[in-house]
Amino acid sequence: MNRRSWALSAVLLAVSIGLAATGCDSRGPTVNRVVIVSFDTTRADRLGCYGYEYAETPHVDALAAEGALFENAVSPVPTTLPSHSTMFTGVYPQDHGVRYNLVFRLGPEAVTLAETLKSVGFATAGFPSAFVLGEQYGLNQGFDTYPEPPGGRRTRETPLAHNGDPAETIVDRALSWLDDRADVDRQFVWLHFYDPHAPYLPPFPYSSTHRERPYDGELAYADAQFGRLMKRLRADPAWDRTLVIVVGDHGEGLHEHGERFHANLVYETTQRVPLIIRAPGARAGRVAAPVSLVDITPTVLDYVGVDSSAEFRGISLRGGVEGDAPENRDIYFESLAGSMNYGWAELRGVRYGDWKLIDSDKPELFNLADDPGELNNLAELEVQQVEDLRASLAELQQPLNGETAAQPSYEAITDPETEAFLASLGYVAGGAGGSAAGAALPREQIDLEPELLAGQTSVAQRDWAAVEDICRYVLSRDEGNKWALNNLSGALMWTDRYAEARDYALEMIHLYPDVEQGYIMAARAYRGAGDTAKSREILGRGLEKLPDSQGLSYLSLVAGFDLKIESVCTDEVPEALEKHSQSALLRVLRSRCEAMNGMPERALATLKDAVDLGFVGVRRLDEVEEFSELLQMEEFRALAAAEDLGDSGAGDD
Ligand SMILES: [Zn+2]
């Protein structure tokens, strides 16, 4: 669906909500409080109610005993932001466009559950606990309250800091929000528990009681905090009108299928998540039919009596909660992480009943009833089944309304240093061009996971000798590895070996002509060697291939400044701004042009616009020659000082 038609359906939705909100649902008690708790990185099979013998999850288990437990709930994507985006829009990644963390954001045209509930008078609060759900990634849409998670803004300093606020903090915030709104009728609150995510460091006493199984210890801790929330909810007069949903965003490999964490593979370890729905007056039960997180938004809207005309991929699970098993249907899942980061093949799959297809040029087919561990690939025996599921998969990949799905968005990151730094860590967004032809299969390369993770740590520590060693090792095993080509090029540049760095960057361009990072690295290598003209030339080549790339456009203009090319200010900056009208960085360049042309007041006004749009590098501008006049201005100093304050405030959070 393109942006316009999605926005249009938002209008239609708002209209139909207005009508529905005046009516009353006759099917059962009216729900006017909705509570969703998403447990990050939580495997269904590690909870007591899903049969795990070592579990210490009494509070989630108790909810399952009185609500409905979905035995086969499928996560659409084994990463946090895309999965939550599906949860809160009722559509798949190919529709909302969020394929991965950090380099994507949920666009403003998305219609979120919070927006819809807010539009019918709900007070809304979201309590995310990790930076990947920070407000710049767009999931905050529709939430009145959305405290910024730690590191949510300062991605350069804490780019991969897998620390989050502990569940205790999240529950405290939610309880205090609820206390402050005791007299508010309609409430929607979402809590996100990041604790089960690696590293597994549960607090005392779980650190002691679960010394041998720290992941289970994190779950036990998160469950205890969930218990605090439940105690409060159960004691509230609104309890008989409260809908509670407990869900996992994705699971964790825990060394099965060779995967330690999550993101790159799509086995049940990471795709099968807990889903428990407790509705007032509903019968307890277990539901075997496969369902998806894409069903959560339609389910909630059904319960609150909002008759939505927005198009969903999901269905309402109210029937399932109340005893009518949902029908079998095709359920979609994907992982593009390996493709975007390493140049491996993209993984897409479909679930229908007990059948599960993970498609590639060497497809895998499993019957999960007979083979829950996915150890027995039936693809060569069950050729017809593979064909049928492939046909379903092709259909699921058609974007809603048959139009082009949203593409990766770089708009989330307005600081070029952050972007470069994230890229150095492996966050190389590739979009459609993420994999070379004949790309390696993730399952055949996943044993490189320890080296790739160690490499990311070495990059974060700027230990370039280690980065170089690891990249060379990875390339010896996986010669087209995108992360390794990129970072070897980077490590070589840090140690002034520009010619060799350029060769690896050119190899990247050769293998991944549709990925902007290759052009960026090659341009840097030329620039480092003193050849700015060649640097601008390679950026131009990149722009021929990727005319919509804001990053390439920006860097090309910066090179143009250095080369003192006159048309940069007269033609190129205005043209680029026409194309990327919301770009903060391009505004900084316009400001630079204005400063150069002796218009410091105008330059300052433009710079303020850039700050309003998210530019956070004002303090660094004192190195830019053209701004020397601006630096003297009181207002400029105030702008830079405000940024200082903002930064230290976020750092203390
Ligand atoms: Zn997650």
State in Å: Cα 261 to ligand 1 middle. Answer: 10
Q: Which of 89-103, 297-311, 379-393 has the highest mean pLDDT?
A: 379-393
Q: Please report, for the domain that includes residue 153, its CATH number.
A: 3.40.720.10
Give the number of other Cβ atoms within 10 Å of residue 612's Cβ. 10
State in Å: Cα 352 to ligand 1 middle. Answer: 24
For the chain, what is the radius of gyration of the CA atoms?
A: 25
State in Å: Cα 278 to ligand 1 middle. Answer: 23
Cis peptide leading into residue 159 (ω within 30°): no
Whether residue 561 sits in one domain with residue 594: no
The 10s digit of each residue's pLDDT in 474-493 is 999 999 999 999 999 999 99
The 10s digit of each residue's pLDDT in 170-193 is 999 999 999 999 889 999 999 999
State in Å: Cα 229 to ligand 1 middle. Answer: 21
pLDDT for 630 equals: 86
State in Å: Cα 374 to ligand 1 middle. Answer: 22
Nearest CA among 599, 179, 624, 256 for reference residue 443: 256
State in Å: Cα 227 to ligand 1 middle. Answer: 21
Nearest CA among 503, 558, 512 for reference residue 536: 558
Q: Is the pLDDT of residue 629 over 90?
A: no
Which residues form the domain of 532?
430-565
pLDDT for 645 equals: 60
Would residue 376 count as lying in a domain? yes
State in Å: Cα 82 to ligand 1 middle. Answer: 9
Q: How far is CA 21 from CA 10, 120, 223, 309, 540, in A?
A: 16, 6, 35, 13, 54
User: How far is Cα 448 from Cα 451, in angstroms, rounded to an integer?
Assistant: 5
Judge whether 526 and 532 are in contact, CB under 8 Å.
yes
Size (the chain), residues: 653
Sequence-distant contacts of 600-605: CB under 8 A, at least 24 apart? 600/629, 600/630, 600/633, 603/627, 603/630, 604/630, 604/633, 604/635, 604/636, 604/639
State in Å: Cα 516 to ligand 1 middle. Answer: 27
State in Å: Cα 23 to ligand 1 middle. Answer: 37
Whether residue 485 sits in one domain with residue 546: yes
Judge whether 262 and 252 are in contact, CB under 8 Å.
yes
Helix (H) or strand (E) holding 189: strand 187-193
pLDDT for 15 equals: 36
Whether residue 590 sits in one domain with residue 561: no
Amino acid at 113: L
Whether residue 109 sits in one domain with residue 37: yes
Would residue 409 count as lying in a domain? no
Residue bearing tokens 């005791």: 182
Would residue 631 count as lying in a domain? yes
Amino acid at 548: D
Q: Is the pLDDT of residue 23 over 50?
A: no
Whether residue 99 sits in one domain with residue 177: yes
State in Å: Cα 159 to ligand 1 middle. Answer: 16
Q: Please report, for the domain that includes residue 516, its CATH number.
A: 1.25.40.10
pLDDT for 401 equals: 67
pLDDT for 277 equals: 98
Would residue 331 count as lying in a domain? no
Percentage of the chain exceeding pLDDT 90: 69
Q: Please report, for the domain that includes residue 373, its CATH number.
A: 3.30.1120.10
Q: Which of 530, 565, 600 is the last residue of a domain?
A: 565
Whether residue 231 sits in one domain with residue 102: yes
User: How far is Cα 521 from Cα 534, in angstroms, rounded to an integer?
Assistant: 12
Would residue 336 count as lying in a domain? no
**DSSP for residue 315:** -
Residue bearing tokens 């205890």: 224
pLDDT-based confidence at residue 2 (cuts at 50, 70, 90): very low
Whether residue 289 sits in one domain with residue 167: yes
Looking at every residue in the chain, the average pLDDT score rounds to 87
State in Å: Cα 587 to ligand 1 middle. Answer: 34
Would residue 489 count as lying in a domain? yes
pLDDT for 491 equals: 94
State in Å: Cα 192 to ligand 1 middle. Answer: 9
Six token digits for residue 182: 């005791």
What are φ and ψ of residue 69, in 5° steps? -110, 120
Q: What is the 3-state secondary structure (H, E, C) of 336-400?
A: CHHHHHHCCCCEEEEEECCEEEEECCCCEEEECCCCCCCCCCCCCCCHHHHHHHHHHHHHHHCCH
State in Å: Cα 371 to ligand 1 middle. Answer: 26
Whether residue 597 sits in one domain with residue 543: no
Q: What is the 3-state secondary structure (H, E, C) of 47-61?
A: CHHHCCCCCCCHHHH
State in Å: Cα 306 to ligand 1 middle. Answer: 29
State in Å: Cα 47 to ligand 1 middle. Answer: 17
3-state secondary structure of 438: coil
| Helix 550-562 × helix 516-528 angle, to 10° | 20
Give one DSSP letter per residue of 242-283, joined into a string.
EEEEEEES----TTGGG-SSSSS--SHHHHEE-EEEE-TTPP
State in Å: Cα 160 to ligand 1 middle. Answer: 13
User: How far is Cα 631 from Cα 637, in angstroms, rounded to an integer?
Assistant: 7
Judge whether 335 and 264 are in contact, CB under 8 Å.
yes
The 10s digit of each residue's pLDDT in 500-529 is 999 999 999 999 998 888 999 999 999 999
Helix (H) or strand (E) holding 192: strand 187-193
Over residues 532-549, the mean pLDDT reads 94
The 10s digit of each residue's pLDDT in 252-310 is 999 999 999 999 999 999 999 999 999 998 877 999 999 999 999 999 999 999 977 67
The 10s digit of each residue's pLDDT in 102-147 is 878 898 889 999 999 999 999 999 999 998 898 888 999 999 999 9
pLDDT for 497 equals: 97
State in Å: Cα 502 to ligand 1 middle. Answer: 36
State in Å: Cα 304 to ligand 1 middle. Answer: 27
Whether residue 653 sits in one domain with residue 557: no
Q: Is the pLDDT of residue 198 over 50?
A: yes
Judge whether 573 and 590 are in contact, CB under 8 Å.
yes
State in Å: Cα 158 to ligand 1 middle. Answer: 17
State in Å: Cα 139 to ligand 1 middle. Answer: 14
State in Å: Cα 79 to ligand 1 middle. Answer: 5
User: How far is Cα 471 from Cα 494, in angstroms, rounded to an integer?
Assistant: 14
| Paired sense of beta strands 33-39 and 187-193, if any | parallel
Is pTM beyond 0.75? Reply is: yes
- Tell me, rounded to whole angstroms, the distance of Cα 96 from its chain centroid: 11
State in Å: Cα 42 to ligand 1 middle. Answer: 8
State in Å: Cα 127 to ligand 1 middle. Answer: 14
pLDDT for 435 equals: 67
State in Å: Cα 249 to ligand 1 middle. Answer: 5
Say how many domains are in the chain. Answer: 4
Whether residue 243 sits in one domain with residue 271: yes
Judge whether 67 and 282 are in contact, CB under 8 Å.
yes
Q: Is the pLDDT of residue 81 over 50?
A: yes
State in Å: Cα 107 to ligand 1 middle. Answer: 19
State in Å: Cα 81 to ligand 1 middle. Answer: 7
User: How far is Cα 568 from Cα 564, in angstroms, rounded to an integer?
Assistant: 8
The 10s digit of each residue's pLDDT in 409-443 is 444 344 455 555 455 444 444 433 456 667 899 99
Over residues 236-249, the mean pLDDT reads 96
Would residue 413 count as lying in a domain? no
State in Å: Cα 423 to ligand 1 middle. Answer: 20
Percentage of the chain exceeding pLDDT 70: 86
The 10s digit of each residue's pLDDT in 583-625 is 888 999 999 999 999 999 999 999 999 888 878 778 778 878 8
Whether residue 387 sits in one domain with residue 438: no
State in Å: Cα 78 to ligand 1 middle. Answer: 7
State in Å: Cα 250 to ligand 1 middle. Answer: 6
pLDDT-based confidence at residue 18 (cuts at 50, 70, 90): very low
Between these two residues, 338 and 23, which has the higher pLDDT value? 338
The 10s digit of each residue's pLDDT in 154-166 is 444 444 445 689 9
pLDDT-based confidence at residue 350 (cuts at 50, 70, 90): very high
User: How far is Cα 650 from Cα 652, in angstroms, rounded to an integer?
Assistant: 5
Q: Is the pLDDT of residue 67 over 90?
A: yes
User: How far is Cα 118 from Cα 365, in angstroms, rounded to an integer?
Assistant: 42
Q: Is the pLDDT of residue 449 over 90?
A: yes
Whether residue 349 sits in one domain with residue 321: no
Would residue 274 count as lying in a domain? yes
Amino acid at 236: D
